[in-house]
Amino acid sequence: MTAPFYVTTPIYYVNARPHLGHAYTTIAADVICRFHSMRGAETFLLTGTDEHGEKIVRAAKKEKLTPRAYVEKISAQFKALWPQLNIGYNHFVRTTDSYHVSVVQRVLQKIYDSGDIYFSEYEGLYCFGCERFYTERELVEGKCPDHDTQPEVIKESNYFFKMSRYQDWLVDHIHAHPDFIRPEHFRNEVLAFLREPLEDLCISRPKTRLEWGISLPFDENFVTYVWFDALLNYVSALGYPDGELFHKFWPHVQHTVAKDILKPHGIYWPIMLHAAGIPVYQHLNVHGYWNVDQSKMSKTIGNVVDPLELKTVYGLDAFRFFLMRDMVFGLDSNFSESALVQRINSDLANDLGNLFSRVLSMVHKYFKGEVPEVDPAVEAELNLDLEQRAIRCIADYQAAMEAFAFHKALIIVWEFINHLNKTIDVTAPWMLAKKKTTQKQLQVVIYDLLEGLRIISGLIYPVMPDTAQAMQRHLGMNPEAPFYFLNMLKRFKTIPAGTRIPKSVALFPRIDTENKKEPDLSAGSDAEATGGAGFKPQISIDDFAMLDLRVATVLKAETIPRARKLLKLEIDVGEKRTIVAGIAESYAPEALVGKQIIVVANLKPVKIMGILSNGMMLAAVDGKRISAATLDKPLPPGSPMR
């Protein structure tokens, strides 16, 4: 029987909206789950939100909400996002769920009863951002390495977990299981940390300081430290200790996290499990960080990347492919839209897209859209060797996927794709088609290429499930069937001769980098869509009042490289803002400076050609002629329009 598979993502803090980094880990977990279903395994993907602690209380206060109302709101955003990225999680755990609270209390009581928790007074350096004490040697020039702030000295009585007692056990376990933490450099990092004596872990916070947490079962005056609470989600979600899911999946668990939370997962968590008498996890898979334009993503810098925006502009599968292909799992990666466009154009539109449309159009051109028969003698004589290559490709791919080396698995698939493209060039089917005597050779070439495409559709399934299904449909196969099972992929000659092949489609249209996704921002486009002079449906005065129209003065105007129609405007609308306007064909930038224009000030900001446009300029449109809406008397910037 095929062993089940269980993968987890970190449970994300609800103090920020989900971004590219969260999307990467969660897509990686989805990809690995889909891969294990290719083995025929029953899989379970767990994700969720981490909702207790000071961070959350502070974030709630900022939004003038109670912690409970606040966590409801943000947790719902995470929950709603994942299906939009085609992430089929099996359970969404929240640390405020009652079953989770009971498991945390149960495990704490168990460890307390076995004598691994003690009460003591402690004075230490506390970082409020990290919600933990730091030792002097962990600080960088006296500051918290993550927050760059000086920790405060805090003296208080708390409960401590005797981690030090298990230090030798953990070192031995890591040595005995070389890929317990992978890739290797993260394993070495954990071992290096364990060369110093391990301090006991403070696992409580007095309620006088923090109330938003899980009460200790043995002392009502304290709540549980967030990490001790959060890590237990991985077992509580399966119904620990007696749940059927726990028995089925826990022995096969693998965690996926980024390097920022290596220490709690590589040290605290295995020791907690061991102390509680729960078997430890199989693998901790650790990836690097996505940076944007070489710097860390941060709200202050304003470079936080929204995954849904990228999906909207470039398509979901292309986005998923880029993430999995561009990051070497375990190393940091730099995100840029131009790298994404380049990947789409080279790997997806050129290599895969071209292969697909070339082969399918030849089936139509030479065989009236029907899969040709293969004559085994002619096939042996031709010796294309595609079957052997496919088998080697599948084996290498499988090994790479099992090791979480997604980039490597995709490189292996692309080597196969490129080999098929080369096979077309070398066999020159258009020449074979010219002579009656080479008809049977043509049949073999086209049939084998179709089989190659079938195998590719299965291998890309974990990363690009929608594209895989589209390919299946266009190979005349059932896209709802489990076409991606490795056993089926390994069986060459599965497509029956005579199968009707639908006409080819462009799987990934090339992105024109000259006029890349340049949206038509001229105000006329909507009116045209409703039928020239046709008016839009009536609205009430209340509907109109929702628009925040303001006077703005143009401070600066400049062209945008590679955008023929767009100008970037710096405006004063009562505050300084940047907007992108589709008026470059009607206005020279210098003619706009000093002009007073009208802008929609409450339009949701959007990124256009990499620039965040925070507002929209109004202009009248007559075909290609555009006239900006201006004032005939100057007024202070920010004045409302009625």
First and final C-alpha spacing in the chain:
71
DSSP 301: T
Angle at the Cα of 527 from the Cα atoms of 521 and 531, rounded to 5 degrees: 135
Tell me the residue nearest to ligand MSP as measured from the CB. Answer: 21
Q: How far is the CB of 511 from ligand MSP (least distance, A)?
A: 24
Q: How far is the CB of 611 from ligand MSP (least distance, A)?
A: 22
Active site (catalytic) residues? 19, 22, 127, 130, 144, 147, 296, 299
Nearer to ligand MSP, 201 or 231 (CB): 231
Q: Which of 291, 285, 457 has its CA nearest to residue 360?
A: 457
Residues within the interface to ligand MSP (CB under 6 A): 10-13, 21-22, 24-25, 50, 230-231, 233, 257-258, 260-261, 289-290, 297
Q: How far is the CB of 321 from ligand MSP (least distance, A)?
A: 17
Nearer to ligand MSP, 297 or 468 (CB): 297
Q: In angstroms, rounded to a whole number, what is the distance separating the alpha carbons of residues 404 and 181? A: 12
Q: Is 549 helix (H, G, I), strand (E, B) or coil?
A: strand
Structural contact between residues 607 and 309, judged by C-beta atoms closer than 8 angstroms = yes
Q: In angstroms, rounded to a whole number, what is the distance separating the alpha carbons of residues 253 and 4? A: 9
Nearer to ligand MSP, 291 or 578 (CB): 291
Roughly what angle, to the nearest 10 degrees, separates helices 316-326 and 406-427? 110
Judge residue 206's burial from the number of C-beta atoms within 10 Å of its C-beta, 0-12 exposed, 13-18 middle, 19 or more buried: middle
Nearer to ligand MSP, 79 or 517 (CB): 79
DSSP 370: B
Structural contact between residues 501 and 363, judged by C-beta atoms closer than 8 angstroms = yes
DSSP 12: E
Q: How far is the CB of 264 from ligand MSP (least distance, A)?
A: 7
Q: How far is the CB of 190 from ligand MSP (least distance, A)?
A: 15
Q: How far is the CB of 105 from ligand MSP (least distance, A)?
A: 17
Nearer to ligand MSP, 257 or 501 (CB): 257
Q: What is the DSSP string of 389-419?
A: HHHHHHHHHHHHHHTT-HHHHHHHHHHHHHH
Judge residue 531's burial from the number of C-beta atoms within 10 Å of its C-beta, 0-12 exposed, 13-18 middle, 19 or more buried: exposed
What H or E segment, with its residue span, contains residue 359? helix 354-367
